[in-house]
Amino acid sequence: MMPADGSTDSPATPPSGAASHHTDDGHFRNPWPGSRPKGFGAVLRWSAARAVRRLRGESAATSVALPMATPAVANPREESGALRATWVGHSTTLLQLGRTNVLVDPIWSDRASPVPWAGPRRLVPPALPFEGLPPLDVVLLSHDHYDHLDAPTVKRLAAAHPGARWVAPLGVGRRITALGVPQVVELDWWESTRAALATVTATPAQHFSGRGPGDRDTTLWAGFAIAADGWRVFYAGDTGYHPEFPEIGRRLGPLDLAVMPIGAYEPRWFMRPVHMNAEEAVDATVDLASAGQAPPPMLGVHWGTFRLTDEPTDEPPRRAARAWAVRGLPVDRCWILRHGETRVVPPRAGGDA
């Protein structure tokens, strides 16, 4: 669903020899070997294993009290030449690239679910009050799962920020416009669009889509690269580890920040195709480094807010920090934030930000 001004650029050429992520029946798929998500039988197997653990008195995942911070959002806007990131919770992150305000995968609801009375419930409230958002220029949605495309939040944003430009992967636009968003730019992988003062490019991701039993993989999933005010930020979306991270860095780098999912990875036999673990997130960040460049700082998200899988709530950041250290990378470039914490990215060496 394109905007009236036709602001989507021509699609970029996919890497040579890459298999298509489009299927003949109009659906989408992961094009890499071993990337097919598990089916319904595997869901039953996982559910049965969790039920057995509960009967034995074993917890599938432990919860701990996670600290929160007071956001330091630049409101209404950051100064030109500065880059500020605030982690609201789960994947929801406010990125302030100079004077351009970008919000990714927003969810302010209490549950990641189609109904308000069932489904994964927040362990930590949204660390930034909805009313505390600055004026939004761009809203990005990586795919249509309930913990990333939250209908009540979309409705609230459409009413409170009517001037925001919305960008989503192919097929997701109709879900958003049905919720009151007037206009959505849909992108295929490697396509770009101009949104406010930013250039947004959809990037490959390894995942799946669907909001009900009959619509699996009818819409696309993606990550995003955002360029504005001389800054370049990569948001991986929801993804397993795939071979296109080096190409993303080559085409769209050098990157100043990588927002990477580090949680929701256990059990690996089930989650590996669709969710990176913390070590893979570090590997992917290293893959993003352009030739001769150090890896960008990594902001770890997609952990600690909803209990979606079997690992302990506080395990992903510990594993990410350990993997980062094993790589010999500067400790101050592995960002494990408290819910609500804000960080400012220092300018790149050479002052080209």
Higher pLDDT, 239 or 290: 239
Cis peptide before 33 (omega within 30 of 0): no
Secondary structure letter of residue 204 according to DSSP: -
Where do the H-state alpha helices sit in 145-208? 151-160, 173-177
Amino acid 138 reads V
Record the pTM.
Answer: 0.92
Distance of alpha carbon 268 from alpha carbon 272, whole angstroms: 5
Q: What is the pLDDT of residues 63-119, one digit of tens each?
A: 678 999 999 999 999 998 999 999 999 999 999 999 999 999 999 999 999 999 999
Distance of alpha carbon 127 from alpha carbon 112, whole angstroms: 16
Q: Where are the strands (E) in 24-163, listed by range?
A: 83-89, 92-97, 100-104, 138-140
- Residue 138's DSSP bridge partners are 102, 165
Distance of alpha carbon 337 from alpha carbon 300, whole angstroms: 8
- Delineate the domains of the chain, giving CATH numbers in brackets: 71-345 (3.60.15.10)
Cβ proximity of 224 and 200 under 8 Å: yes
Cβ proximity of 191 and 9 under 8 Å: yes
Six-digit token string for 92: 């929801």
Six-digit token string for 94: 């406010």
What count of other Cβ atoms lies within 10 Å of the Cβ of residue 246? Answer: 17
pLDDT at 18: 53
pLDDT at 4: 36
Radius of gyration for the chain, computed over Cα atoms and rounded to the nearest angstrom: 19
Q: What is the pLDDT of residues 241-291, one digit of tens each?
A: 999 999 999 999 999 999 999 999 999 999 999 999 999 999 999 999 976
Is pLDDT at 6 greater than 50 in this prediction?
Answer: no
Cβ proximity of 8 and 173 under 8 Å: no
Q: Report the chain's mean pLDDT, rounded to a whole number.
A: 91
Cβ proximity of 281 and 300 under 8 Å: yes
